[in-house]
Amino acid sequence: MKLIAGLGNPGTKYRDTRHNVGFEVVDVLARRHGTAFESAPGEALMARVRSVGDGLLILKPLTFMNLSGHAVAELIRYYRIALSDVLVVVDDVNLPLGRLRIRARGSHGGHNGLRSVAGQLGTDEYARLRLGVGRGDGRRDLADHVLARFEADERETIRSAVDRAADAAEMFVTDNIEKVMNSYNRADDTATAE
């Protein structure tokens, strides 16, 4: 069984913000597979997809970003999911708007959600998909930037990137992480998988 965890902040105040693109990606996955979110072990919502690979759980923690590792770790333990079968989807201010970067493992890179996941799991040996939201104006506080909604001229780029990230997550479920990285870690952020 695979687990795709999209990280974000709960509540309508944070909907459609840069920090919540992880939620947007897993929402797309749930819609594509005609499944709905339900209560999950820990503070989270999950959707089940039985028709893909060996099965898929889609997770949305209901805690704030810096505590999201609790829900991810709880679901991994409850369903005995191997860390090699886990993909965490987050925003990344260090990537240009719409760019994807997938890694099999790595540091949290300053991202509080990934820091929380690694802290709860006791390792950073899990795959992550980062979706670029840009850094914004250097004079603006970074926290304000990630908690802001996308500008009108950015919305089409981010919508397309969210769809590509959902494609990459689906490939993770059916193929290996190396294939996902080779297909989506391209400098051309408009490239599609072959």
Pairwise CA distance, residues 58 & 69, whole Å: 15
Lookup result for tokens 């914004």: 136
Cα distance between the two ends of the chain: 25
19 included as an active-site residue: yes
Using alpha carbons, select from 88, 145, 85, 147 the residue that is nearest to residue 116: 88
> Which three-class secondary structure state does DSSP give residue 41?
coil
- DSSP 8-state secondary structure symbol assigned to residue 91: E
- DSSP 8-state secondary structure symbol assigned to residue 57: E
Active site residues: 19
